Each structure stands twice: as C-alpha cells, then as structure tokens.
Amino acid sequence: MEIYVIRHTAPDVAKGVCYGHTDIPLLPSFEEEAHAILPSVPNDIEVIYTSPLNRCKALAHVLAQAKHTAIIEDTRLKELNFGNWEMQRWDDIDSALLMRWMSNYEEECCPNGESYQQLVNRVDDFLKTISQTACQKIAIVTHGGVIKAMHALISNLTLKDAMTRHAVYGEVTIFNF
C-alpha cells in the first residue's frame, strides 16, 4: 500500500502559541498552498483520510474534489492534545511543568492532555485499521505530530528519532506500508 501523508497548510496562529486539538483557522494563502500540493498526489488515490480539525479537512476537500474520491474523517489523526496548554504561548506555560513534560514527553501527559505515547497508540490503531482495507493508494491529511508517529511506526524509528523529523506545512511524505 502506498500512503501519501500530507501535513495541513499553514495555520493562522501567532508564532510561539501551543496548539494541537484546537480548531484554528488557516492563512488567507490556503487556496494557493492547497493547489500547489495537488501535483504531488496521484490522481488514482482511492480514499482520503483526514483529521476532523478544519485545518486538515479544508485540504482534504480540495484533494477530494481534484482527485474525485471520498473523504473519511478519523479522530485518531488529530494532533497531540496539549490540554490546559492549548492556545497559550509556550513562554507563558509554567516552566517547571513544561520542563518536566519536555524531559519525558513520550510518557508524561500535558495537564489535562495526553502523552506522545498516547498519540502514537492512536496512530498505530489507525494504521492497523487501514492495513485491513483493499486500497492500494491512499492519502492522509494530518498534523506534524501524527506524521512523526507514522515515521516511528512505519520506519521502525525510536520516538526520539522520529521527533527529529520535521514536516513543513503542505509537505507530502510517501510511505510504502
């Protein structure tokens, strides 16, 4: 199975703000960014899976219209839940709590949020589900943290090594799964 994993386009959020599960808007350049992605995704995509957050769904709809295929929303494709830290500036988060989380983000949950391992478990469950389908080419529109989890799971990387991978907004990563 070929998987085309696409990170959503640039969000309209101030630099330095923590966001994950928050449904934030996209920049006014969305249409231009979305259409620039189209040539990187083959026309014979059989289905598009997307995070239910609007920053992903908007791109999934552009792709679905251009590629004439269906969209399936899946909550397992959402970004990390940062809990109480959502929409706070990183600089304004209690430094002791932030350092505790950063030193063990794999297992440590954000206050009222989740750990990176919990995100990885969600993504692993999603990958097991799609491996049972008959589809040979799919697209997935999702978030940076989810893409890093996919690198860990599909490429057999440690979580720390996967975290060094950086997907820019609108980047297409191809996995053979």
Output the average pLDDT for the chain: 96
Q: Which CATH homologous superfamily contains domain 2-176?
A: Phosphoglycerate mutase-like (3.40.50.1240)
On the 0-12 / 13-18 / 19+ scale of CB atoms within 10 A, 77 is buried
φ/ψ (deg, to 5) at 14: -65, 145
- Whether the full predicted model's pTM is greater than 0.75, yes or no, is yes
pLDDT at 154: 96
Contact yes or no for 80/144 (Cβ under 8 A): no
Nearest residue to 72 via CA among 48, 53, 55, 56: 48
- For 72-90, write each residue's pLDDT tens digit: 999 999 999 999 999 999 9
Nearest residue to 31 via CA among 71, 2, 58: 58
Residue 170 and residue 177: Cα distance in Å, rounded?
21
pLDDT at 68: 98
pLDDT less than 50: residues of the chain: none
pLDDT at 123: 98
Four-residue CA torsion sign, 115, 49, 127, 132: positive
pLDDT at 38: 98
- For 30-61, write each residue's pLDDT tens digit: 999 999 999 999 999 999 999 999 999 999 99
What phi-psi label fits residue 7: left (phi over 0), alpha (psi between -120 and 50 degrees) or beta?
A: beta
pLDDT at 82: 98
List the domain boundaries for the chain. Answer: 2-176
